[in-house]
Amino acid sequence: MPNGLDKPETTLEKIERMDRRIVFLAIAITIILPLIWPLGLPIGVSPQVDDFHEAIESIPDGSVVLFPNDYDPASKAELYPMTVAILHHFFKEDRNLKVIGLGLFPAGPPLLQKAFEEVAVDQYGAEYGKDFVNLGYKEGREIVMASMGESIPQTFPTDFFGTSIDSLPIMQGIKNYSDIAILVNVSAGYPGTKEWVQQVVSVFDVLMVSGTTGVSAPEYYPYYNSGQLAGMLEGLKGAAEYETLIEEQGIATSGMDAQSLGHLVIILFIIAGNVLFILNKRNKNRDRGGRF
Amino acid sequence: MARRSIPTAIAFFFGAMMVVNYFVPWGWFSDRANQVQEWGLIVVAFAYILGALNVMRVHGHKIQRKEEDWRFSIVTIITMVVMLSFGLMPEHWAIGGMERGSPFLWMFDNMYVPMMATMYSLLAFFIASAAFRAFKVRSLEATLLAVTAVIVMIGAVPLGGILLPGSMELRTWIMETLQNVGKRGIMIGVALGAISTSLKIILGIERPYGRD
Amino acid sequence: MWELLGIWIQVFLTLAIFSFLYRDNPFYKFAEHLFVGVATGYWVVLQIRNVLIPNLFQPLFGEFSDPWLVIPLFLGLVLFMRLSDKYSYMSRWGMAAVVGIFSGLAIFGFGGGDLIIQIRSNVMPFIDTEAVQAFTQKAGVITFLNILSNPIFIIGVICVLFYFFFSTEHTGALGVVSKIGIYLLMISFGASYGNTVMARISLFIDRAQFGIVNWIPTVIIGILMIIAFVVLAITGKVDPKKQF
């Protein structure tokens, strides 16, 4: 018998050991329903998100922004909405910012390219090679970051599509980090924010902000506290807060109701799991007491 | 003897170049160090291709020996070859290149992206099941962990502000201070460990690239 | 036309992978193997197009601008010796170069980026006068907690490091210090767990949004898949009670 006694399982024990596919179904329904019928809960803005926004506001018009998008489809759910929101901020007010994108995850650059096309080109009429560029992917992780400190054109002789960067107006006069006003990193882990801080912020003294997945965000708080990161966005929640701040409600905002209910259900699961655990333990002890 | 000393010498040369570059970051030497860095990223790229060959070999063996699920291995090899062929075709061919609309990017958008995103989203279900089954509060340590997790979860979402007013501010304080202390401690500890391991590697005391 | 076909393929592959939640099955296995093929092919193409051509082949064979590049070419090629039994030791030369560079960069990355700056940031006044001022202006739970922040950092980091490093027996006063260290670490792990839940839920939200936007193919393919599962269960090829 599963309870170790010669008694049949009680209902409570059965619930505690129920088929986990019931849990799967519960979580799926809780998340899907508010996506179909949204609740429209108001979204507050955290101080780190405010700081992120401020940092981008603080650079002069016409500056060059380095925009490494270090993620792949595994974290697209959290980071793609973030990329879109950040691009809105770059191009919304006619600040003439020059955005140099790249990606240190092999599957990153096509996602970045899609965001560039959907936001920069379609909504703001920005021009490839003049207002923004996608340098594509480069293997080597920290080596790439360190190497760009010496020379960006030497590290990235061509863009994502194989075009020589000498032929792109945006890259004229760009040598290394001293030509970059701010490093805006969207990061899913290694290589990403931690390595940019270690190899670039601390060595070349570059202003940096980071948008990151919920999983890696807690790890980067020491950098935010020490000022190595001027601002931070945490996961889909960070993206939604940013959308609120720049008044461009998008996919992240529309997911926040589902996020709310999802958290609530998980918390209920934790509570239910523990209540059942305590009740069953108590019952078991009582049975033992009766027996011996 | 040479088998042992050549890789050690190579690791020392490449590692020492990087270290010295921090102290002498100018002129001729810096150019050389940068050149060496560039070499590094090229060698790592080869490692990826070696990895791909390995995948092909493993699945090839499976098909050859008709092991379990060998028919699915045919799918892997065919798609790999198709992807490689589209991707390596010259841009000026109608179906070559990596621009939007090319077959290579079409396969990336319609196969790679949805499958990888879905595989990771399965974790939402497993973490829910773990929350119910495994998250048992058995000690003070476990209680602290659970209570923090719950506050962080509830404070992160709009609903939290309604159910528990002030939870967002409390979460911010926890993230910036209370949990940050542990993270800072770990960061300092890991940094010390990483520095000493790196020194050992450069000096040939530790040889993670293999030994005889 | 291609776009529409693409959507249907996306929906099929998404549902095929989700079907793993029901149990391991041929749809999932097909998608899994397809993924490995597409991903490996993609990676190799990117390494060749974005790294090897612009950084190696073009300057070495196209422009003849940098003959020294034969060194990384050689170190890269010897990696393939791993596939041979006799010369596999040569593959270590390439690995050693990579490991050497990473180690060199790590020393200053971790030293300058993490160790020194994190210790320096932890050197702060025990009493934060700004926080006290804020509290006197607006007394509340958060403003009070903010006063505690500096002492928590100063004492807390020492406790955590003590727990990690000191190999003396953790009893008496030292026991209390290391116990506080453990508690702070547990809080830290709790926060990480909370954020991990947040991230995982977001991942499913993305897929659910995709399914809702493309609900017609999702419903049609979903129903067809369920029928397939019923058939498989009736013919005895899949046991519906068994999981994974």
Report the CATH number at residue A237: 3.40.50
CB within 8 Å of B139: residues ≥ 6 apart: none
The confidence score (pLDDT) of residue C243 equals 56
Which chains contact C through at least 3 pairs of Cβ atoms less than 8 Å apart?
A, B
Asked if residue B114 belongs to a domain, the reply is: no
The last residue of one of the domains, among B88, B118, B143, is: B88
CA distance A186 to chain B (A): 17
The confidence score (pLDDT) of residue A291 equals 47
- A234 contacts on C by Cβ (under 8 Å): 195, 198
Band of residue A157 on the pLDDT scale cut at 50, 70, 90: very high
The confidence score (pLDDT) of residue A230 equals 97
What integer best gives the mean pLDDT of chain A?
A: 92
What integer best gives the mean pLDDT of chain B?
A: 90
* N-term to C-term CA, chain B: 9
Quick check: C197 and A226 CB within 8 A? no
Is the same domain home to C142 and C181? yes
| Segment C59-105, tens digit of pLDDT | 999 888 888 999 999 999 999 998 888 888 898 999 999 999 999 99
Six-digit token pair at C200? 């995982």
Q: Which of A126-130, B66-70, B177-181 has the lowest mean pLDDT?
A: B66-70
pLDDT at C227 over 50: yes
Distance CA A46, CA A242 (A): 9
The confidence score (pLDDT) of residue B92 equals 80
Nearest one of A108, A113, A105 to A133, comparing CA atoms: A113
Q: Which residue has the higher pLDDT, A13 or A219?
A: A219
Asked if residue B83 belongs to a domain, the reply is: yes
- The whole-number average pLDDT for the span B35-53 is 91
| Segment A39-61, tens digit of pLDDT | 989 999 999 999 999 999 999 99
The confidence score (pLDDT) of residue B1 equals 63
Asked if residue C152 belongs to a domain, the reply is: yes
What percentage of chain A exceeds 70 in pLDDT? 96
Band of residue B211 on the pLDDT scale cut at 50, 70, 90: low
Six-digit token pair at B156? 């992160």
Number of domains composing chain B: 2
How far is the CA of B115 from the CAs of A219, B73, C44, C118, C224, in angstroms? 28, 17, 19, 39, 19
- The whole-number average pLDDT for the span B24-42 is 85
Band of residue C238 on the pLDDT scale cut at 50, 70, 90: low
Nearest neighbour of C187 by CB, restricted to B51, B78, B179: B179
pLDDT at B205 over 60: yes
Nearest neighbour of B153 by CB, restricted to C36, C197, C210: C197
Is the same domain home to C190 and C207? yes
Q: Could you give phi then psi for residue A158, rounded to 5 degrees? A: -130, 165
Quick check: B40 and C82 CB within 8 A? no
Asked if residue B98 belongs to a domain, the reply is: no
CA distance C37 to chain A (A): 14
Quick check: C212 and A227 CB within 8 A? no
pLDDT at C9 over 80: yes
Number of domains composing chain A: 1
What percentage of chain A exceeds 90 in pLDDT? 83
The confidence score (pLDDT) of residue A292 equals 42
Interface of C with A in 159-188 (CB under 8 A): 188
Asked if residue A2 belongs to a domain, the reply is: no
B/e letters for C39-66, b = 16+ CB within 10 Å, e = fewer, are: bbbbbbbbbbbbbbbbbbebbbeeeeee
Q: Which of A5-19, B57-71, B96-110, B169-183 has the lowest mean pLDDT?
A: A5-19
Nearest neighbour of B19 by CB, restricted to C42, C107, C160: C107
Q: Which residue has the tokens 């986990």?
A: A20
B125, A189 contact by CB (below 8 A):
no
Number of domains composing chain C: 3
Quick check: A197 and C209 CB within 8 A? no
Quick check: C160 and B17 CB within 8 A? no
Q: DSSP characters for C25-56?
A: -HHHHHHHHHHHHHHHHHHHHHIIIIIIIIII
- B159 contacts on C by Cβ (under 8 Å): none
Is the same domain home to C219 and C207? no
Asked if residue B105 belongs to a domain, the reply is: no
Is the same domain home to C178 and C206? yes
Which chains contact B through at least 3 pairs of Cβ atoms less than 8 Å apart?
A, C
Nearest one of C205, C215, C225 to C20, comparing CA atoms: C225
- The whole-number average pLDDT for the span A194-218 is 95
Asked if residue B10 belongs to a domain, the reply is: yes
| Segment B83-110, tens digit of pLDDT | 999 999 888 887 888 888 899 999 999 9
User: Which residues span the domain enclosing C106?
Assistant: 41-121
CB within 8 Å of A263: residues ≥ 6 apart: B153, B154, B156, B157, B159, B160, C197, C198, C201
Distance CA C70, CA C67 (A): 6
- C160 contacts on B by Cβ (under 8 Å): 181-182, 184-186, 189
pLDDT at B112 over 80: yes
pLDDT at C223 over 90: yes
| Segment C36-56, tens digit of pLDDT | 999 999 999 999 999 999 999
Band of residue A11 on the pLDDT scale cut at 50, 70, 90: confident
Instruction: Look up the pTM and report it.
Output: 0.93
HEC profile for C149-182?
A: HHHHHHHHHHHHHHHHHCCCCCCHHHHHHHHHHH
Six-digit token pair at B50? 């070696």
Asked if residue B48 belongs to a domain, the reply is: yes
Asked if residue A25 belongs to a domain, the reply is: no
User: Which residues span the domain enclosing B164?
Assistant: 135-212
HEC profile for chain B?
A: CHHHHHHHHHHHHHHHHHHHHHHCCCHHHHHHHHHHHHHHHHHHHHHHHHHHHHHHHHHHHHHHCCCCCHHHHHHHHHHHHHHHHHHHCCCCCCCCCCCCCCHHHHHHHHHHHHHHHHHHHHHHHHHHHHHHHCCCCCCHHHHHHHHHHHHHHHHHCHHHHHHCCCHHHHHHHHHHHHHHHHHHHHHHHHHHHHHHHHHHHHCCCCCCCCCC
- Interface with C, mutate which of A84, A215, A219, A256 (most C CBs under 10 A): A215
Distance CA A59, CA C95 (A): 42
Q: What is the CA radius of gyration of chain C?
A: 29
Indicate the SS3 state at residue A279.
helix
Quick check: B78 and C37 CB within 8 A? yes
Q: Is B106 on the interface with A (CB under 8 A)?
A: no
Asked if residue A161 belongs to a domain, the reply is: yes
- The whole-number average pLDDT for the span C163-190 is 86
The confidence score (pLDDT) of residue A1 equals 43
What percentage of chain B exceeds 90 in pLDDT? 68
- B132 contacts on A by Cβ (under 8 Å): 20, 23, 269-270, 272-273
Interface of B with A in 156-175 (CB under 8 A): 156-163, 168, 172, 175
Quick check: A35 and C59 CB within 8 A? no
User: Hey, which residues does A233 pair with through a beta bridge?
Assistant: A211
Asked if residue B43 belongs to a domain, the reply is: yes
* N-term to C-term CA, chain C: 37
Asked if residue B157 belongs to a domain, the reply is: yes
The confidence score (pLDDT) of residue C241 equals 61
Angle at alpha carbon of residue A188, lines to A185 and A190, rounded to 5°: 95
Is the same domain home to B76 and B7? yes
**Is the torsion defined by CA of C33, C34, C39, C41 positive or negative?**
positive
Q: What is the largest CA-CA distance in chain A?
A: 87
Asked if residue C22 belongs to a domain, the reply is: no
**Is the torsion defined by CA of C54, C55, C57, C61 positive or negative?**
positive
Quick check: C6 and B35 CB within 8 A? no
User: Which residues span the domain enclosing A180?
Assistant: 47-252
CA distance C36 to chain A (A): 14
- B56 contacts on C by Cβ (under 8 Å): 40
CB within 8 Å of A228: residues ≥ 6 apart: A197, A201, A202, A208, C113, C117
- The whole-number average pLDDT for the span A180-198 is 96
ipTM of this complex: 0.90
pLDDT at A287 over 80: no
Q: Is B112 on the interface with A (CB under 8 A)?
A: yes
Q: Which residue has the tokens 């489809």?
A: A73
Quick check: A237 and B156 CB within 8 A? yes
Q: Is B88 on the interface with A (CB under 8 A)?
A: no
Band of residue A6 on the pLDDT scale cut at 50, 70, 90: low
- A27 contacts on C by Cβ (under 8 Å): 204
Distance CA C157, CA C149 (A): 12
What percentage of chain B exceeds 70 in pLDDT? 98
CA distance B163 to chain C (A): 17
User: Hey, which residues does A98 pair with through a beta bridge?
Assistant: A64
- The whole-number average pLDDT for the span B125-134 is 90
Q: Nearest-CA residue of chain C relative to B33?
A: C101
Neighbouring C-beta atoms of residue A203, cutoff 10 Å: 20
Length of chain C: 244
